[in-house]
Structure 1
Amino acid sequence: MPKTAVVALGGNAITRSKESGTHAEQAANARRMARAVCGLRDAGWNVVLVHGNGPQVGNLAIQQEEAAGIVPAQPLFSTSAMSQGQLGSLLTLALLTEGRGRLTGVVSVVTHVLVEPDDPAFATPTKPVGPFFTEEQAGELAARRGWVVARDGDRGHRRVVASPRPVGIVEIDAIRALIDQHMIVVAGGGGGIPVIAGDPGLEGIDAVIDKDLTAQRIASSVNAEALVLVTDTEKVHLDFGRPDQRAITEMSVDEAVKHLEDGQFPEGSMGPKVRAAIRFLREGGTTAVITTAERAGPSLDSGEDRADDTVGTRIVGARG
């Protein structure tokens, strides 16, 4: 029986730093991601691919607002659905191209994710979306459009929106059925379309859910053995940015908790990924990996002959 890996891919991996986000750029980046996923499939894994949408959903929201005088603007949860379709198609085509003759099939599932309407995240927006602006531009846009803006690293300011915690996956039974058919499943795109339980049924709510947390929720719900959190850093580091920084090849979940509590993994960078990994392992998962797309496959190999310069960081259950 093939094991299942849930792979979380950031929206920034599809629209990369210093790119404008043209279709050609995004398609080329999707092909790179598809090669890594096909490598996992060749190694015998069933794969569920979850992607982020921070740059893309923010860009779509701007397009909605700019054209509001011609056609009605759609709410943020609708632009999340739009980005899910756009990026799901992009990744599906890339996977079918890279996996020609080797894949049973690829299915992209429009995925709704339940959140709680009283989640504290709605009062404190933190999720960056869309392009970068100068401080002056960001201040002007905030005043004119009612945005909340914040500095995002060294590249400038961005709009930030609410990012509530995912509590359930509406389409999880369909995702399980597709895994059983050995399909590569693209699901939970952009963290999923956020919905709440209302009087008439499910209702969309404006937010963008963290894709790493949604990937963890899916992975735990389908009893996946592995959770792979793809980033642009080959390994997780302790004391990152200091002269004595050191890379971690493997740590236990208990060690990860201690390092997190010690402030080693800031919320604006590695924190959410390490948190998702911890939650996955504590809910029954076997291995979580944080690394680049190219190192994902080798990092899942637990053999003693793994070379440290070809793998990322593995987080495993408490060592006996």
Structure 2
Amino acid sequence: MNKTLTMNNTLALNKTSPLKKPTLVVALGGNALLRRGEPLEAAVQRRNIAIAAKTLAALSQEWRIVLVHGNGPQVGLLALQNSACTQVAPYPLDVLGAESQGMIGYMLIQELKNCLPDREISALLTQVEVDPHDPAFQDPTKFIGPVYNADQAAELIKLKGWEMKADGKYLRRVVASPLPLHIIEGAAISTLVAHDHLVICSGGGGIPVVRSDAGMTGIEAVIDKDMSAALLARQIKADALLILTDADAVYLNWDTPQQEALRHTTPQTLSTMHFDAGSMGPKIRASCDFVTATGGIVGIGSLEEGVAIMRGDKGTLITPSSQTQH
């Protein structure tokens, strides 16, 4: 299949039989499942996942879907709950990441099955190899957990030794976010896709593991799910990548009177712009890496508008230079 897709020929491809549909990796943000300011409760998450399931069900009419979800709010909550028990040593972040894959994967399977009762839907516990010497371990940038005011953050820094950074007008815990190098279960994911499963995998960016003489072992980190989704999309030879988040598009001068939405753009144009390392920056980097490496397309936008984003009607669409729409 020609990897350089325009919006028009993508729609043409989608009219073929189900197993001939192009493959779309969808990166669903943890903040789209538990939105900023909402309580970190199961009922709230289920409500948002029900919205996500409807979007994914609609996308599945035109695409074979592989879903990667974030876990920033969820793994941060697990870390808080985990540290509250003083009788045992806290579980490391890689184990908590695995817990979040099971928790979110269960809810996604249930809601997707309600929308698509005849589809095979599988959630796969997924490990992702990282470099133990990645410089990210010296400069944590990945936000996890809820937001705090200055007094709350100061107390947590004192009690738990956590590192905090500004997230908008609040403070939030940050942890190391090394670059993903290889999806360990990539071949299994490809097999499930080939058998027409809607696959949920690499949750939270994947469980971070490092390779040594003794084999694979976990490491304290949370992998950026957008970078992991872009790597997965390349590894399984997907045709497109869709990043669903709590913003309706990519903006220049975000949260200022001069903010401006980018509707259609290219990696070359985006390379001249600056985006925050703790939020939109990794999404832009992941998108540009995928488009440049494959000639595919990337959509970025809000959860409810997934189909419209991939058709170029909403959000931001990133294409190779020759495919840019005006």
Q: Identify whether the pair has TM-score above 0.5, normalized to the shorter chain.
A: yes
Aligned residue for 2:52? Answer: 33
Report the CA distance between 1:85 and its aligned residue.
Answer: 0.6
Verify the 8 A CA contact 1:172 1:221 in the aligned structure 2: yes
Aligned residue for 2:104? Answer: 87
Distance in 2 of aligned mates of 1:162 and 1:16? 22
Aligned residue for 1:256? Answer: 270
Distance in 1 of aligned mates of 2:30 and 2:166? 18
Distance in 2 of aligned mates of 1:61 and 1:246? 36
Verify the 8 A CA contact 1:256 1:315 in the aligned structure 2: no
Aligned residue for 2:254? Answer: 240
Structure 1, 18-27 or 192-201: larger mean CA deviation: 18-27
Aligned residue for 1:170? Answer: 184
Aligned residue for 2:289? Answer: 279
Q: Does 1:294 pair with 2:310?
A: no
One of 5, 8, 18 as aligned partner of 2:27: 8
Q: Does 1:311 pair with 2:314?
A: yes
What is the letter of the counterpart of residue 25 of structure 1? V
Report the CA distance between 1:244 and its aligned residue.
Answer: 4.1
Report the CA distance between 1:97 and its aligned residue.
Answer: 0.8
Distance in 1 of aligned mates of 2:258 and 2:149? 33
SS in 2 for 1:31: helix
Structure 1, 271-280 or 248-257: larger mean CA deviation: 248-257
What is the letter of the counterpart of residue 296 of structure 2? T
Report the CA distance between 1:299 and its aligned residue.
Answer: 2.3
Verify the 8 A CA contact 2:35 2:246 in the aligned structure 1: no
Unmatched runs of 5 consecutive residues or more in structure 2: 1-19
Report the CA distance between 1:190 and its aligned residue.
Answer: 0.5
One of 2, 5, 23 as aligned partner of 2:42: 23
Unmatched runs of 5 consecutive residues or more in structure 1: 303-309
Aligned residue for 1:140? Answer: 155
Verify the 8 A CA contact 2:40 2:77 in the aligned structure 1: no
Please, what TM-score do these two structures have when normalized by structure 2?
0.89
Distance in 1 of aligned mates of 2:92 and 2:40? 22
Report the CA distance between 1:196 and its aligned residue.
Answer: 0.2
Verify the 8 A CA contact 2:59 2:307 in the aligned structure 1: yes
For residues 67-91 of structure 1, the C-alpha deviation after alignment (integer angstroms, 9 at most, x for no partner) is: 132x443111100100111001111
For residues 252-275 of structure 1, the C-alpha deviation after alignment (integer angstroms, 9 at most, x for no partner) is: 2222222x3xx2x22233221111
Q: Does 1:65 pair with 2:80?
A: no
Q: Does 1:52 pair with 2:70?
A: yes
**How many percent identity over aligned positions?**
40
What is the letter of the counterpart of residue 211 of structure 1? K
Report the CA distance between 1:241 and its aligned residue.
Answer: 3.7
Distance in 2 of aligned mates of 1:143 and 1:199? 37
SS in 2 for 1:294: helix
Verify the 8 A CA contact 1:292 1:312 in the aligned structure 2: yes
Aligned residue for 2:217? Answer: 203
Report the CA distance between 1:280 and its aligned residue.
Answer: 0.3
SS in 2 for 1:224: coil
Report the CA distance between 1:284 and its aligned residue.
Answer: 0.6
Please, what TM-score do these two structures have when normalized by structure 1?
0.91
Verify the 8 A CA contact 1:9 1:51 in the aligned structure 2: yes
Verify the 8 A CA contact 2:250 2:315 in the aligned structure 1: yes
Verify the 8 A CA contact 2:32 2:303 in the aligned structure 1: no
Distance in 2 of aligned mates of 1:194 and 1:140? 29
Say what the alpha-carbon RMSD is for the aligned residues: 1.5
Distance in 2 of aligned mates of 1:208 and 1:128? 9
